[in-house]
Structure formats: structure tokens, C-alpha cells
A = this chain, B = another copy of it.
Amino acid sequence: MTHPLLDLAPLTAAHFAAVERRLASLLATENDVVIMQGEALLPLEGCVRGGARPGSTALNVVTGPYGQTFGNWLRDCGATVVDLEVPFHTAVTAAQVERALAARPEIDFVSLVHAEAATGNTNPVAAIGEVVRAHGALFMLDAVASVAAEPLLPDAWGVDLCVIGAQKAMGGPAGVSAVSVSERAWERFAANPRAPRRSYLSLLDWKERWIDTGRRALPHAPAQLEMLALEACAERVEADGLETVMARHASAAAATRAGALALAGGLRPFVTEAADAAPVATTLRTPAGVDAGELVARALAADPALPLIAGGGAWAKEMIRVNHYGTDATPAAVLSSLRALGAALAETGAPVDQDAAERAVRDIWR
């Protein structure tokens, strides 16, 4: 019995390499791009374990939960970790990073999440990259939630390790992901005796077995269907135009913020400054006395597919997150989310102005 997902001719090395080149072009990078065969956590973990070691000192910028994960990995590698935590409702500033670096000249690794979908903020990577480069540390950026949603220029910004996934603004698969690796990063990995080697976590394996041998044979069988989906979504972003795709996400973020304020039910943007708000997700604070989990549950009762989630961890009771990426980066999706939140708020007795929210959304999109 024939099936569209089975018995495909194997993905050739040339085809795999062509997808790599497409991603390199999307990132405007001259560095090597490695497409690892797992979710973005895989290259992120590979970068941390390759770049950090006992004796390393890492500045780990924490603007959300992924930053916390990176800190755990760094400590697990034996590195001394300086956590630069900023309140999750803001972004970190280049000046803060600069001060942290100046205080600890031995810092040789900096990890940063570009945009944190979970907390809804985004960080000024260009400016931060400048101070990191001046300091000389290796700079790792988690750009999963920013790629195709806002400008991302790893080479121009001095990012040594830029990790992306396709599952957010690119509207693609989550099962494979990529990282651009600077020459400096390769050298750091090579010099680290504890960097993963002969391991599913190993970036060096890809360098030695794939890149350095002329991209003739893959080190192991790829996730072919995810690769084909990755190629298709990259093609679609190119066809739509990267600028257009980014503009859609910016509008979705602005409309969600404006609409939530206009709704007047007591929701407030969690991220104080609009300039610090991520283009893929907007986080909102619930009014006093309104439990976020309950509010979201009520909103999802009507439509479980709406891109709404209650905050995680410490924010579980007071934060709501509205995702607006990929096919949800549209006025209609934003409106549906706001209406459902509005209706759920109205049930709590809050005064709600659904029409004002709708007008606010439409004003942004015009």
C-alpha cells in the first residue's frame, strides 16, 4: 500500500546541503549552518556543552525560562555562571550586559534568548552583540522565537552561535533545527576536551563528518520529512518575502497589545514597554483577583484551538500568553483570541468593551 510519507527516495546529501544554504541565506550569514536532527533544544544544548567547561565563566542573561535552562546546562558543564536576571516584564539592556562583563573580565561565554515567547519580551541583540564582541566572549543566541518575526542578523551582530527553529514565525516543523557557527565557536569547541564528540549532542561531529568532508555523506540518517517541511516553509517565507512575514508579526503584536488595552477589562501588558514586546507572543496580566488559569480555561472552552496559554511557574496565576505566530499572525486570529478573553472576563463580571478592542485591532492593521 503506497503512502505519501513512506518509501520516499532517501534525501540526498546535495538536497540536505541545499536546505542548509537556504537557511544561511535567511540568516544572511557566511558562517557554517548545521541543521541538527531534533528540536531546537538539541542544538542549544550542543552549543552550551561545546562552549562551556570547567574553568569557563559564563554570563547567562535570564529574561525568561529558557535562560534558566541554559544556566542549568552551564553549571552542569562545570562553568562558573553569572546570571544576569532582569525582571521578565522588561528587556535586558546593552548597558546592563556591559556592566556585567566589566565586573567579571574572565567571562568567556554569553548566552541570551532573543525573544522569549513564554514571557513575551525581546532583547536588543544588535547593541548587546556589540558589547559582547568588545569584551571578546563567545556569544550564543536562542533565536527560535525571533527568526522570521523580527530582524535577525547574526553576522552583523557578532553572534557566534545562532540557533533557530521553524515552528514559530516560519510556520514550519519543530523536528529539526539549525545553528550558525562562527569560526571562533568551532575553535572553542575543538579546544574543549569535554565538548560532546561521537554524541547526538555533538556539533563537532557534524563539522568533522559532514562539513570538513565536503558535505558528501550525512553522519546519520536524517529526519527526512521534517527536512522537506523545513525546506517548504523556507521557500514560503522567501516567496512571501521575509520583510512581509516580519511585518505581519509586528502588526499582530501591536494589535494584540492595543486590543487588550482597549478591551478595558483590566488586562494589562505584562511587558511594560512596547519596544520590548516580542512579535510572536503577547503576555498579559490579569486583573487583581482573576486567576489566569481559570480565565484561559474559560476562554478555551469555546475554542480549544485558540492560541492562548496561562503563564508557567511563578506566573501561573496572573499571566496570560497570546501566541500570534505563523498562521496566527493575522487580524482574525488576534481578534478571536481577544474576543474569547473578553467574553471570559465578562463572565467574571468585569466591564468589557469588545467593540473597542476590535476597532483597536483594525486600526493597527490598516
Contact = CB atoms under 8 A, between A and B. Distances in A.
A173 B69 CA distance: 30
A242 interface: no
Interface in A317-365: 326-327, 330-333, 335-336, 339, 343, 346, 354-355, 358, 361-362
A76 B197 CA distance: 10
Contacts of A303: 330-333, 335-336
A37 B226 CA distance: 11
Nearest to A49: B199
A200 interface: yes
Contact of A175 (B226, B304, B336): B226
A303 B302 CA distance: 17
A302 B362 contact: yes
Contacts of A336: 303, 336
A175 B73 contact: no
Contacts of A2: 8-12, 15, 224, 228
Interface string A162-203: 000001000111111000000000000000000000111100
Q: How large is the interface on A (under 10, 10 to 19, 20 to 34, 35 or more residues)?
A: 35 or more
Contacts of A236: 1, 3, 6
B5 A228 contact: yes
A361 B175 CA distance: 38
Contacts of A333: 303
B1 A15 contact: yes
Given A2-B15, A305-B9, A226 B223 contact: yes
Give the 7 A-B residue pairs with the shortest CB-CB distance, closest first: A175-B223, A303-B332, A174-B221, A225-B225, A5-B229, A2-B9, A4-B4
Given A6-B172, A37-B39, A339-B339, 13 more contacts: A1-B12, A4-B4, A4-B225, A5-B232, A6-B229, A7-B9, A7-B326, A38-B223, A45-B200, A76-B198, A167-B221, A174-B224, A302-B362
